[in-house]
A and B are shown apart, each in its own frame.
Chain A
Amino acid sequence: MRIRVCISSLAVPLLVVAMLFASGKGSIVNAQQAPPAVEVKIDNFSFGPVAITIPVGTTVTWTNRDDIPHTVVSDDKVFKSKVLDTDEKFSFTFTKAGTYPYFCSVHPKMTGKVIVQ
């Protein structure tokens, strides 16, 4: 009895993997068509990850998870968010390769970087 239980508990994940493979082709095609997206979280007066490297065309979304408002402002004035209160988001799509340092204009010790390749 014990062996049977083990086999059946193994069988379930195997089945799931098999189903993923079966539908895998379509999923990959969809992923290629959808624009790439990356998340940056603001926690404890820091951007995380502090530096990201992304392909051209990626949309980066920043989410403020602090109790204090922050902003996301490019050093070179390429992008500039309005003030973000708790849980508010700001998104920007990077269409040109380059390095984009940015900071919080309210708390300028908070800095981050987006590298677009």
Chain B
Amino acid sequence: MAGKTKDEILYDHNHDGIDRRGFLKCMAWAGTGTLCVMQGGVLKSFALNRPGDPGAAVAKGELSFVQISDSHMGFNKPANTNVGGTLQAAVDKINGLATPPEFLLHTGDISHLSRAEQFDNVDQILKSTGKQTFFVPGEHDVLDDDGKQFRERYAKNSKGTGWYSFDQKGVHFVGLVNVMNLKAGGLGSLGHEQLEWLEDDVKHLKSSTPIVVFAHIPLWTVYPEWGWGTEDSAQALGYLKKFGSVTVLNGHIHQTMQKVEGNVTFHTAASTAFPQPEPGKAPSPGPMTVPADQLRSYLGITNVNYVQGHGALAVVDSKLG
């Protein structure tokens, strides 16, 4: 039975009458710029960027926020010699959204080499959104100093190596750190102390509270050969079993990917800097160089909407160009 539960929704936790097949059919479009939204209990998908785009109207709910990821400020290799320009394009896209987001989430690899001027550049570009940004570190943000600079800049009131939680309009957000103290041969890691904190952080919450967990490395095993997973994520997700709606937002793999497992919906966001190959489709997960005129079609932002009364959050990936 354990094997069977892994890939199937065993109960209709949202009471929206959507089977797994229907949901995945919709989600399959997400990476190409599609909006999936609950409407009257029915999941509908709309292509973005088409005349009369219905996205903005139907997506309007209690809470809207944007996830960006992997801006790699300081990277200057052929895959993208102007990562500042593409981050600016992401910000322009955010500023142009019909429903302005309440805030931004940045799921790590803000900088390429953890240098102060690289963080400064990102801060400067994000400033024009006028929105607060919540950060979790990527492995590129904690080089050589165990994340000291990251925490001083972005996570002053956090616990441990930089984890924290907050509430917005009834949704509980949890920012986790899985890029510290990595062991030889291993995957991303949360560690005992953080797991204990997480268990304690969510235990007082009602099971009807929508949960959004965000961390850099995927909290599901995308491709262990390339380190695309977190070794103790199952324990973290175990603490979230009682909740009807859990949305997990990650970065790290520089491409959009979705997976539904029971009450949990997993998403990875595109990078704003450069794409990486699909799992196993290249000798290594290094930067993928694409024709310059196609680069922006591999980069993007993720817009997330929460409509009260509908369990699942609507997650929309859209390209920069």
Residues of A within 8 A of B (CB): 44-46, 66-69, 71, 75, 82-83, 85-86, 101-103, 105-109, 111
Contacts and interface: CB of A to CB of B under 8 A. Distances in A.
A106 B139 contact: yes
Contacts of A66: 284, 286
Sort chain B's interface into a size bin.
20 to 34
7 contacts: A44-B284, A67-B75, A69-B112, A69-B113, A83-B114, A108-B227, A109-B227
Interface in B218-251: 224-227
A109 B225 contact: yes
A109 to B, nearest CB: 4
A106 to B, nearest CB: 5
Contacts, number: 58
A69 B142 CA distance: 12
Contact of A44 (B78, B186, B224, B283): B283
B185 A108 contact: yes
Contact of A107 (B77, B79, B227): B227
B112 A101 contact: no
A103 B286 contact: no
A70 to B, nearest CB: 10
B184 interface: yes
Nearest to B114: A83
B77 A86 contact: yes
Contacts of B114: 83
Nearest to B143: A83
Given A67-B286, A83-B144, A103 B184 contact: yes
Interface string B31-74: 00000000000000000000000000000000000000000000
B140 interface: yes
